[in-house]
Amino acid sequence: MLKIWGRSNSINVQKVMWAVSELGVDHERIDLGGNFGGLDTPELLARNPHGLIPVIDDNGIVIWESHAIVRYLAAQYGDGSLWPSDPAARSTADMWMEWAQTVLQRDFIQLFWNLYRTPVEHHDHALLANLTTQCATNFSHLEDLIGDSPYISGQNLTYGDIPIATQFYRYFTLDIERPSLPRLEAWYSRMCERTAYAEHVMVPYEDLRARLAP
């Protein structure tokens, strides 16, 4: 059975769980990281020497890094669905997956950390304003480029949608200013209609909010 190590409110773990659920792969998830700890245990470090989640073990195939895991799962279990048979469609999925890692998530995680995981009393308002603007620019750029297709690679959900859309729930539910993004909002609405997305990405994250110690 496929085993997945990681906590359910980690964005990177959510990518994996969403993919697994879409593919219908029998699996077991083991809580790890955050409040659960365990990132420095010999057991985890034997699987991932970097001490990070998610990590999977698929009948002896051990993989770390969320995007590598999502690609593997799509290729192994989703040929013709999450893993398009057309190389051109796969290249589109790959381009957006790389962009999600190097641009979109890089900036959004900084915003989320400094806004939500930093106590209000310690907020750097100038930094937050800059990060909010940068994230708005990134999402607006995506808005301009995705066109009218229902998904990132065309008519069907692929692994390329997963890293980007996993950011959506928090971006659209944080108390921040956002530009009007009708295409992305329509895309987000389509994601919300997917059972796997609702179950694994639309997860409450209030417990991640930082508060000053009493």
Residue 133 confidence class, pLDDT cut points 50, 70, 90: very high
Mean pLDDT on 84-105: 94
Nearest to 48 by CA among 66, 34, 36, 31: 66
Chain centre distance of CA 112: 13
Query: In the chain, what percentage of residues exceed pLDDT 70?
Result: 99
- Asked whether the predicted pLDDT for residue 146 surpasses 90, the reply is no
pLDDT at 154 over 90: no
Q: Say what the pTM is.
A: 0.95
CA distances to 20, 118, 138, 209 from 158, rounded to whole Å, are 12, 34, 21, 31
DSSP 8-state symbol, 154: B
**Nearest to residue 108, comparing CAs of 16, 183, 173?**
173
Length of the chain measured in residues: 214
* pLDDT per position as a tens digit, 58-74: 999 999 999 999 999 99
Residue (of 150, 155, 10) closest to 81 by Cα position: 155
- Spell out the domain ranges in the chain: 2-77, 87-205
Range list of H helices, the chain? 11-23, 42-47, 66-77, 87-99, 105-116, 125-145, 161-173, 182-192, 195-200
Predicted confidence band of residue 212 (pLDDT cuts 50, 70, 90): low
Structurally, at CATH architecture level, domain 2-77 sits in 3-Layer(aba) Sandwich (3.40)
Cα angle for residues 140, 100, 51 (degrees, 5° grid): 145
Cα four-point dihedral sign 153, 159, 162, 163: negative
Q: Decide: 167 and 158 in contact? Cβ < 8 Å.
A: no
- CA Rg value for the chain: 17
Q: Which of left, alpha, beta for 125 (phi over 0: left; psi -120 to 50: alpha)? A: alpha
Tokens read off for 2: 């496929």
Q: How far apart are alpha carbons 172 and 165 in whole angstroms?
A: 11
CATH of domain 87-205: 1.20.1050.10
